[in-house]
A and B are shown apart, each in its own frame.
Chain A
Amino acid sequence: MDKVIRVLISKPGSDGHWRGSVTVSRALADAGMEVIFGGFQSIPEIVETAIQEDVDVIGISIHSMAHMAYAKQLMDLLDEKGMRDEFLVLFGGIIPDEDIPKLLELGVSGVFGPGTMTDEIVEHIRSKIIGRGG
């Protein structure tokens, strides 16, 4: 049997727009993934939880326009721990199109804004995780 994909969904910072994080959590759970809902967490807490919960995917939901700063903090911390390849990192929320290439360059695997069909996220995760042989 295939290993169940484990996903952590968290919100860094203090922005409280929670609908996206809950909506995506439910959609991924409905698609058979195991979702750990982190809620508000700092970047170090997110990485700590991801390690402890042994997740495959870290999903970051953000609506405050501070996505570049948090993405950099997250990828730097993963690098510091030598764990960049352990996790598939996804971002969702209010993120302008022109920032997407910059996030991908930092090592984020996918960016999903408002109006995304959740199937796209599920497909993305499955293709990448299987691609990694996970």
Chain B
Amino acid sequence: MNDLRKIEEEEKKWMERARQKKERQERFETYSGIPVKAIYTPLDLKDHDYLRDEGFPGFPPFTRGVYPTMYRGSFWTTRQFSGHGTPEETNERWKLLYKEGETGFSAAMDSLTFVGLDPSDPNVEPEVGTDGVPLYCKPAVEALVKDLPIDKVSVAFPIECLTSAPVSAMYFNVYMERGFDLATCKGTTQNDILTMSIGYVQYKSLDPAHLLKLACDLIEWCTADKNVPKWHPINFTTYNYREGGIDAIQELGFGFANAIEHIEHLIERGRKPEEFVDRLAFHLSAHNDFFEEIAKYRAARRIWAKLLRDRYGIEDPKHLGFRYHIQTAGSSLTRQQPMVNIIRTTVQALAAALGGCQSMHTNSYDEAICLPTEESVTLAVRTQLVLKEESRIGNVIDPLGGSYYIEWLTDEIEDRVWKYLDKIEQVGGIVKALETGWIYREMAEAFHKRRRAIETGEERVIGVNCYVSEEKQKVEVFRTNPNAAKIEQERIKKLKAERDNRKIEELLDKLRRVCEREENVMPVVMELMGKGATLYEVCDTYRDVWGEWKQPIVF
């Protein structure tokens, strides 16, 4: 048994000795600005209660992990966000990744798919396939997953609210046409308002209230209406907000505030949280501050369980688990000395694994320069293989649990996130924060702060503001298919020649009426995509009925 008084006495002696040597910095803090001491001891955990604050994996508050066996049962899913050129070329890349050890697919879509356009718009035509795979109609999705075992391997579509219904509907139709039952369909639609408004700013967007409506349409139709019960119809992608330069506290704060907004919207529709909360998923960042990130994942699980229990009265533990994918931080990668990115990614992936993620994307070392080559992405997959197969980190669950520092930091992060959630609530929640521009100001401040930190040298970045060398990039630059726009134009032309255009017109009219009455768009969008409507036709109907929204960006 610890004698706290004795520890305090010994600590004093240590302090005296430690003070004799000057420390290399005046103050030490985490990436999120939490001041940290030189050492943590049982004195820092005086109010800590093991069963209340940590407990066992698979049991509330899930601090130590969301499943009882964690990686002793099965490892996290290796899921690389990947897509380029055309669906056929992306299909080839996916086959390579699968052969190399990937265990889940994820479609990186081009910016036209993201915003519900196609090459018929000359302003965006040069971007067809340059930054992802073009998925403008169902035949493209068919080509994307051709010959892949989609009944066994889950597929993620990181696409947001504006386009989430038609893109998911294309996939669901393809899944059924391949002879499978939607009851077995596994995967994820990102469907995240904040990703498309602050993680990435969406061209030709809708207003936040309609984005929320569309997000909830997909959630409701898949879960509460039981159409695709194993699907994750939303993935709150705090990764994308974090990439802007906000800290770990804001990352979780924005993510949970966003989830609250969706839960409450669905409750207003008459749905019970138990009908959908266990299908809500998250996608977090794995950033540079190793211990802070691990504590962040542990705190996130605890906050989610408490939030659902205390705010929504959900008691059954099966609804309280926080499941998440992680991506190593793209914004930490540099174009200078690009091979160093392999090491950054490895350290971040290790933090993610020690933190207990369910799914992981490791960035390729060339991503500050171009889309990854086959060689770089294979190496990224193998980084995860080394962690899984060689490092033995999966042998013991939550191996850092019980560390004085980790437990103290987990508690500290939790406390700060609750306070930040109060702050967001005071500005009226996420939709209000978008409408009024509050959240854009928070983001711009974060951009500015990080730029200053790097320019003043307060944040050290190897090869950028310290240990700078003259060496030039020595990486092969990956180029996407220059004919992609032509190929996709032909695909759409062929589709329009073969489909029943009168039926499409009729269904688009129906969609218009559904939008005007603010009903759930999913049933008619499922029919539209199945019969060969294009993504653009659906999204343009939304824009026509509801109008476009210009984000209140400040700098």
Contact = CB atoms under 8 A, between A and B. Distances in A.
Interface of A: 12-19, 22-23, 25-27, 29, 35, 37, 39-40, 42-43, 63-66, 69-70, 73, 94, 96-98, 113-115, 117-119
11 contacts: A12-B123, A16-B111, A19-B244, A19-B447, A23-B555, A42-B123, A97-B335, A97-B473, A98-B477, A115-B461, A118-B451
Contacts of A65: 130-131, 370-371, 480
Q: Which of A19, A23, A25 has the most CB of B within 10 A?
A: A19
B553 interface: yes
A69 B111 contact: no
Contacts of B448: 23, 26
A113 B366 CA distance: 14
Contact of B203 (A22, A37, A40, A115): A40
Chain B: interface residue count, which band? 35 or more
Contacts of B464: 115
B191 interface: no
Interface stretch (B5-13, B92-100, B112-120, B493-501): B112-120
Interface of B: 110-112, 114-115, 117, 123-124, 126-127, 130-131, 196, 200-204, 243-245, 334-336, 368-371, 443-444, 447-448, 451, 454-455, 461, 463-465, 472-473, 477, 480, 550-551, 553, 555
Contacts of A16: 111, 114-115, 196, 200-203
B131 A64 contact: yes
A65 B276 CA distance: 39
B196 to A, nearest CB: 7
A98 B335 CA distance: 13
A37 B555 contact: yes
A13 B123 contact: yes
Contacts of A17: 200
A12 B178 CA distance: 39
A118 B456 CA distance: 11
A35 B550 CA distance: 19
B124 to A, nearest CB: 5
Contact of B550 (A39, A43, A97, A98): A39
Given A15-B131, A65-B130, A66-B127, 10 more contacts: A16-B111, A18-B553, A19-B447, A22-B444, A23-B555, A27-B451, A40-B201, A42-B123, A114-B334, A115-B464
B348 to A, nearest CB: 17
Contacts of B126: 13, 66, 69-70, 73
What are the 4 tightest A-B residue pairs by CB atom distance, in nearest-first order?
A69-B126, A25-B555, A66-B126, A16-B200
A118 B447 CA distance: 13
Given A35-B555, A119-B455, A14 B472 contact: no
Contacts of A27: 451
Contacts of B451: 23, 26-27, 118
Given A26-B444, A64-B127, A70-B126, A94 B553 contact: no
A17 B367 CA distance: 14
A114 to B, nearest CB: 5
A93 B368 CA distance: 9
A71 to B, nearest CB: 10
Nearest to B473: A97
B111 A15 contact: yes
B300 to A, nearest CB: 24
Contact of B112 (A14, A26, A69, A73): A14
Contacts of B112: 14
Contacts of A14: 111-112, 114-115, 117, 123-124, 127, 203-204
Nearest to B472: A97
A113 B334 CA distance: 10
B124 A13 contact: yes
Nearest to B121: A14
Q: Which of B117, B243, B555 has the most CB of A within 10 A?
A: B555
A76 to B, nearest CB: 13
B82 to A, nearest CB: 15
A25 to B, nearest CB: 4
Nearest to B336: A115
Nearest to A15: B111
A13 B111 contact: yes
B370 A96 contact: yes
B240 to A, nearest CB: 10
A114 B451 CA distance: 11
A113 B117 contact: no
B130 A64 contact: yes
Contact of B334 (A23, A39, A97, A115): A115
Nearest to A99: B477
